[in-house]
Amino acid sequence: MKVLHIITRLDCGGSAQNTLLSCRELVRDFETVLVHGLSLESRLSPPEKAKLCRERAEAAARGVRLIAVAPLVRRIAPVKDLRAFLALCRILRRERPEVVHTHTSKAGFLGRAASRLCRVPRVVHTPHGHVFHGYFGKAVSRLFLLLERAAAGLTDRLVALTEGEKRDCLDLSVARRGAVEVIPSGVELTRYAPFQGDRRAARRELGLDPEARLVGFAGWLSPVKGVRELLEAMPLVWREFPECELVFLGRGELEEDLRARSARIDGKGRVRFLGWREDVHRILPLLDLFVLPSRNEGMGRVLVEAMACGVPVVAAAVCGIPDLVQDGRTGILFPPGDVEALAGGIRRLLRDRGLAERLAACGLAHCRRYDLAVMVDKLRRLYLGLAPRPGAIPAPPAAGVHPLRP
């Protein structure tokens, strides 16, 4: 049985990492092909490129066949989109997979349309969190919503990362009832663990204050991640905890803006920018708490990573995050965009060590259900459940879809 995956870009983001891990682990059970764009939009740094090259090489060594399609880009680009669509059709006719699994919105629309045109028996789509608010302006968001609604009829199964994402997809009519599976993004939990050793020495090695209370964020430094709101919350935190430091792990379009803002609001060097790091698993355990203030988030893999490191979390109550962070049990939730509530959650955990330790312990136990092996097993069952019977005729296009011949 051949499963062919399609994604616009391979980078160090959650959707790409999830897709690579899925292909790498499931190649033992299925012939696996991964079709992807060139990732030029991600503007990868040399260390990121090196990491991605190693991951691609490891997947290839295990048997995954990777096919690059240059015009397959994330942004809307009509000429490139047409070229990408035609390239996908050629690949699908040549490969003849039993299942096509598309990932993210752009690859999802082009890949599902090409799959139905080429009469692929079964089509699966994972949005990896929807893009209907927080990412683009109203016009572009509306366009993506309309495209997703049109593509819903081309999809045998839609994979949501959380129950929250599933509800959003059904409420927005971008998925058919009875055709949605909830399969959380899997994390290699063996790489993450609570810190053991000399914490102060480890902090000094990274250039961090060994005595400070460290509040951390890891991810893209972009508006949808709420990083501006996190920085704006810190003066409210410093009133009570002047020794607290904020650590940004990652890079992105807002990095220079954040650096300039931090220089204006803090003259004591209490905001640290560590850039993109491959050793996040070493740094997370050194934090006193982790914050994810996103305005839109399918699940928040980094929350699982922080929990696995025994770090208490504060996160925005948006989209799929409440499925992972149970307020007052596995973390603290706050309304997205509410700077005062965000600062209040941070102060609460810095003030109450007993609460922070209880939340960290519950989070450490809770995160086990998001282990990579759990995701792989659920995907394996999904594909096998969709496998066409021997000699079966490929399924016709869904109702309302004009059956064009390749």
pLDDT by residue (tens digit) across 43-79? 788 888 899 999 999 999 999 999 999 999 988 889 9
Q: Residues 300-333, buried b or exposed e (16+ Cβ, 10 A)?
A: bbbbbbbbbbbbbbbbbbbbbbbbbbeeeebbbb
**121-135, 281-295, 380-394: segment of lowest average pLDDT:** 380-394
pLDDT-above-90 percentage for the chain? 74
Write the CB contacts of 67 (distance below 8 Å, at least 6 apart in sequence). Answer: 33, 34, 35, 36, 91
* Cα–Cα distance for residue pair 163/312, rounded to 1 Å: 22
CB atoms within 10 A of CB 116: 23
Checking if the pLDDT of 170 tops 70, the result is yes
Give the tens place of pLDDT for each residue, 211-225: 999 999 999 999 999
Most confident of 13-22, 125-134, 230-239: 230-239
With cut-offs at 50, 70 and 90, classify the pLDDT of residue 372.
Answer: very high
Nearest CA-CA partner of 150 in 400, 396, 397: 400
* Cα–Cα distance for residue pair 224/135, rounded to 1 Å: 6
Cβ(342)–Cβ(291) below 8 Å: yes
**95-99, 173-177, 359-363: segment of lowest average pLDDT:** 173-177
* Cα–Cα distance for residue pair 214/329, rounded to 1 Å: 21
pLDDT-above-70 percentage for the chain? 93
Cβ(1)–Cβ(30) below 8 Å: yes
Which residues make up the CATH 3.40.50.2000 domain(s) of the chain? 2-186+371-386, 190-369
pLDDT at 392: 47
Handedness of CA 77, 79, 80, 82 (dihedral sign): positive
Cβ(353)–Cβ(86) below 8 Å: no
CATH code: domain 190-369 is 3.40.50.2000
Nearest CA-CA partner of 310 in 280, 288, 332: 288
CATH architecture of 2-186+371-386: 3-Layer(aba) Sandwich (3.40)
Angstrom distances, CA of residue 38 to CA of 3, 83, 105, 188: 21, 14, 17, 25
* Cα–Cα distance for residue pair 152/113, rounded to 1 Å: 10
Cβ(381)–Cβ(322) below 8 Å: no
Give the tens place of pLDDT for each residue, 93-132: 999 999 999 999 889 999 999 999 999 999 999 998 776 6
Rounded mean pLDDT, 349-354: 96
Cβ(105)–Cβ(74) below 8 Å: no
Output Rg (C-alpha) for the chain, integer angstroms: 22
**pTM, two decimal places:** 0.89
Mean pLDDT of all residues in the chain? Answer: 91
Relative to beta strand 2-7, strand 31-36 is: parallel
Handedness of CA 111, 95, 186, 303 (dihedral sign): negative
pLDDT at 134: 57
Tokens found for residue 385: 């459940």
Checking if the pLDDT of 135 tops 70, the result is no
pLDDT at 389: 60
Checking if the pLDDT of 285 tops 70, the result is yes
With cut-offs at 50, 70 and 90, classify the pLDDT of residue 9.
Answer: confident
Rounded mean pLDDT, 368-388: 93
